[in-house]
Amino acid sequence: MTTSVERWDVIELELPAAEAVFTQGDRYFTARGPRVRFMPDEEGVWTYEAGGVSGTFVCTPAGEGNHGPVRVDGLGFRYADGTPYRPYGTTAGPADTGTLDALAGAPFNRVRLSAPDERQIRALRDLGVEAEVMLDGHDIAETVSRLAAYRNVWWCAPDDPEVLAEIREHDYGHHLLTVHGAIDTDFGAPWITHASLRHNQVRAIAGLTDALDKPVVIDACGAEGDAPDPDGGLPAQEMLARIWEGICQGGHVTHAESYGSRPWLAGECVERIAFLRRILDDAPAGLRHNPAAYDASTIEAPGEYVLQYLGPHRYPRRRFELPDGAYEVDVIDTWNMTVRTLEPVSGGRIEVELPAEQYFAIRLRPAARA
């Protein structure tokens, strides 16, 4: 009987050695572990050999919902099959049953974890959630070899050249790899796929993105909660504002909670991040920050789409220069989760009237797309 596995899924083999070589044509990969697991990335017949035992299996097309691992795509991300991916992240402890249950009803598609096991990684994969594994510098070879076969794994490593080299040695799947640090961290090495930043000034994203020419994720800018320290006790409005601000600066911002008395993901930001995700899921891919709108964070696809976040400013109106054509104008209340659509306007210099309240955004789209 021929063993088969779909593309970017896991084949697990009982072999007489803890190291196996998988080949297809002139490509070969080494997988290690007490039980050898492997993720084939191309369809067709693969061969394996371990301890004098060899065999073959067939890699079949990826099934529904299987888009492969996430890869860097310019200043953003995409799945290996080309499907666009925008991270909506949060931070958790171990992915226990309560964590998985909470994520099943939440808008997040990426979670930062410590010391997960295979069962938890598989459960997150089945939820469509990427799992960023925060490595601590210990048992790197074992952890990476154990989890590298799962397509939804990302690595976050200590800023240590030896640790980074060890990860790359044992990760045949070439998953996303970053270090987590302050704004003066050196994220420039080519094997660091994106920056994982610890910084509470999210408007720094645009400048760092330009300097690095790679995606920037602020993974620690504070947490919504009631913790006694300032960074862990942000009002929900401030946490949400930082997420909107960072995204409209052309980056990505990770959510966090630190309530002592509430269940995890029971805070006020979660449903509002779901609202934000619906807005961005309806936007074209490849939005870029526009630095010309220096007083309001703005991402756009020129001539096609504009999303401008006004943050704490109480602007009574905003002016835009648009190409010829008719445009739909939406005034978005990011906290109350409402969208008010104005009458279509013609291109040229337009002025959008606003309620002069905090935490509003403006969306401009060609009227034909409405």
Q: How do beta strands 89-91 and 257-258 pair? A: unpaired
Assigned domain for 188 exists: yes
**What is the structure's pLDDT at 137?**
81
User: 94 vs 292, which has greater pLDDT?
Assistant: 292
Mean pLDDT of the chain: 94
CB 308 within 8 A of CB 317: no
Residue that terminates a domain, selected from 254, 281, 308:
281
Whether 200 and 235 map to the same domain: the answer is: yes
User: Does position 200 have pLDDT exceeding 90, yes or no?
Assistant: yes
Mode of pairing for the β-strands spanning 317-333 and 360-366: antiparallel
Burial (0-12, 13-18, 19+ Cβ within 10 Å), 255: buried
Q: What CATH number should be reported for the domain holding residue 345? A: 2.60.40.3950
Strand 317-333 and strand 338-341: the pairing is antiparallel
Note whether 89 and 237 are same-domain residues: yes
Q: Are residues 235 and 355 in the same domain?
A: no
Q: In this structure, are 160 and 81 located in the same domain?
A: yes
At 303, is the pLDDT very low, low, confident or very high (cuts 50, 70, 90)? confident
335 occurs within a structural domain? yes
Q: Which residues contact 278 (CB under 8 A, 6 or more apart)?
A: none
Checking if the pLDDT of 16 tops 90, the result is no
> For residue 65, is it within any domain?
no
Query: End of a domain among 60, 87, 102?
Result: 60
Which residues form the domain of 153?
70-281
Percent of all residues in the chain with a pLDDT value above 70, rounded to a whole number: 99
Sign of the CA dihedral running 301, 303, 305, 307: positive
pLDDT tens for 310-359 read: 999 999 999 999 999 999 999 999 999 999 999 999 988 999 999 999 99
Q: Which residues contact 243 (CB under 8 A, 6 or more apart)?
A: 253, 255, 269, 273, 276
Mean pLDDT computed over 29-49: 93
In sequence order, what are the beta bridge partners of 288? 300
Residue 273 and residue 143 share a domain: yes
Residues 332 and 362 in one domain: yes
What is the rounded average pLDDT of the residues 166-180? 95
Whether 242 and 122 map to the same domain: the answer is: yes
Q: Check whether residue 46 and residue 156 sit in a common domain.
A: no
Question: What is the pLDDT at residue 148?
Answer: 95
- What pLDDT, on the 0 to 100 scale, is given for residue 95? 75
Residue 186: which CATH number? 3.20.20.80
Average pLDDT over residues 155-169: 95
- Rounded distance between C-alpha atoms, residue 202 and residue 187, angstroms: 17
Q: Are residues 294 and 213 in the same domain?
A: no
Please report the pLDDT score of residue 17 as a whole number: 85
Place of tokens 């109350």: 336
Q: How confident is the model at residue 2 (pLDDT cuts 50, 70, 90)?
A: low
Q: What are the phi and psi torsion angles at 185 (to 5°)?
A: -65, 145
Whether pLDDT at 191 is above 50? yes
Please say if the pLDDT value at position 108 is more than 70. Answer: yes
pLDDT given for residue 109 in this prediction:
98
Mean pLDDT over 57-74 rounds to: 97
Is residue 270 domain-shared with residue 297, that is, in the same domain? Answer: no
**CB-count exposure of residue 256 (10 Å: 0-12, 13-18, 19+):** buried
Q: Indicate whether 21 pLDDT > 80.
A: yes
Mean pLDDT, rounded, for 93-114: 89
Q: Is the pLDDT of residue 260 over 90?
A: no
As given in the structure block, the two tokens for residue 34 are 């007490």
Q: Above 50 in pLDDT, residue 1?
A: no
CATH classification at residue 24: 2.60.40.10
Using a CB cutoff of 8 Å and minimum separation of 24, what contacts does 163-168 make?
Answer: 163/135, 163/137, 164/189, 164/191, 164/192, 166/140, 166/141, 167/135, 167/140
Number of domains, the chain: 3
Is 219 a residue whose pLDDT tops 50?
Answer: yes
pLDDT of 370 > 50? The answer is no
Both 164 and 40 in a single domain?
Answer: no
Say if residue 270 is in the same domain as residue 293. Answer: no
* Model confidence at 63: pLDDT above 50: yes
pLDDT higher than 60, residue 152? yes
> How much is the pLDDT for 317?
95
pLDDT in tens, 77-96: 999 999 999 999 999 877 78
